[in-house]
Amino acid sequence: MFMLMLKEIRHRWLIHSLVILLMAFVISILVIQSSLNSSAEDRIKELTHDLGKGMLVVPQGTDLESFYSMKYGPEVMPDDYDVRIKQSPVGRHAGKIQPWLYGNLNFQGNDLIIVGRKVKNPRYGYTDSQSVAIGKGAASGLGLKKGDALDIRGNSFRVARVLDPPPKGYDMALFMPLGAAQNILDKPGKINALNMGGCWCKLDVAGFASEVENTLPGTMAITVDGMAKAQTQINAIMEQYSTLLWITGTVLVIGSIVFLIFYMLRKGEREIGLLLSIGLSPGKIILKNITIAALSSILGALLGHILSVPFMAWFGKTFMRIGLIPSWDYLPHFVSASLVIALLASSFPSWFVTRLDPTRLLREE
Comparing 19-23, 191-195, 251-255, 300-304, which segment has the lowest mean pLDDT?
Answer: 251-255
pLDDT at 308 over 60: yes
pLDDT at 235 over 70: no
| Cβ proximity of 55 and 321 under 8 Å | no
pLDDT at 171 over 60: yes
Could you give the CA distance from residue 300 to residue 28 in angstroms, rounded to a whole number? 9
| Cβ proximity of 132 and 115 under 8 Å | no
- Give the residue among 42, 41, 36, 93 at the shortest CA–CA distance from 221: 93
- In the chain, the DSSP E strands lie at 55-59, 77-78, 96-107, 110-117, 131-135, 149-152, 155-163, 173-177, 190-191, 193-197, 219-222
Half-sphere exposure of 70 (CA within 13 A, CB side): 14
Task: State the DSSP code for 199.
Answer: -
Q: At what angle do helices 205-215 and 224-267 cross, to 10 degrees?
A: 90
Q: What does the pLDDT read at residue 125?
A: 45
| Cβ proximity of 299 and 345 under 8 Å | no
Model pLDDT for residues 37-47, shown as the tens digit of each residue = 665 556 555 55
Q: What does the pLDDT read at residue 128?
A: 47
Cis peptide before 217 (omega within 30 of 0): no
Task: State the DSSP code for 166.
Answer: P
Task: State the DSSP code for 251.
Answer: H
Q: What does the pLDDT read at residue 39?
A: 59
pLDDT at 78 over 90: yes
| pTM score over 0.75 | no
